Amino acid sequence: MRATTLIATLALTGGILAAGATLVPTFAQNAPAAAATQSNWMSLQELQSKLVAAGYRDFEKIERERTKYEVKATDPQGQRVELDVDPVTGDILKTEVKRKK
């Protein structure tokens, strides 16, 4: 009985190690790709210029997140908003009104 348990444990451990060895190169290949795509991102100045042209003003914060820019500003209607902005195109992905004027 003990031999069967030992063999099963060794087989399970070997399977887990083999799966880990298979996944490690996959993660290693994806890491540089994610960093390389950030080189396509608009600069903070370009982003702010695009938003100013769209009528946004009084920027409180422009912050680079993992997959987007997060911006706190006043929209063209005078409301305080928080925007999620596409980092490559500068398109507004989401608008959340924080405070109405």
Q: Each residue of 75-98: pLDDT tens digit?
A: 999 999 999 999 999 999 999 998
Token code pair at residue 94: 């989401």
The single-letter DSSP state of residue 38 is: G
Same domain, yes or no, for 29 and 52?
Answer: no
As a residue count, the chain comes to 101
For the chain, the domain total comes to 2
Q: What are phi and psi of 62, to 5 degrees?
A: -130, 115
pLDDT at residue 7, rounded to an integer: 75
> Domain range for residue 59?
42-99
Same domain, yes or no, for 94 and 54?
Answer: yes
Instruction: Return d(Cα 14, Cα 23) in angstroms, integer.
Output: 14
Same domain, yes or no, for 91 and 47?
Answer: yes
Same domain, yes or no, for 49 and 94?
Answer: yes
Q: Each residue of 20-62: pLDDT tens digit?
A: 666 556 555 555 444 446 789 999 999 999 999 999 999 999 9
- The helix/strand/coil state of 63 is strand
Q: How confident is the model at residue 73 (pLDDT cuts 50, 70, 90)?
A: very high
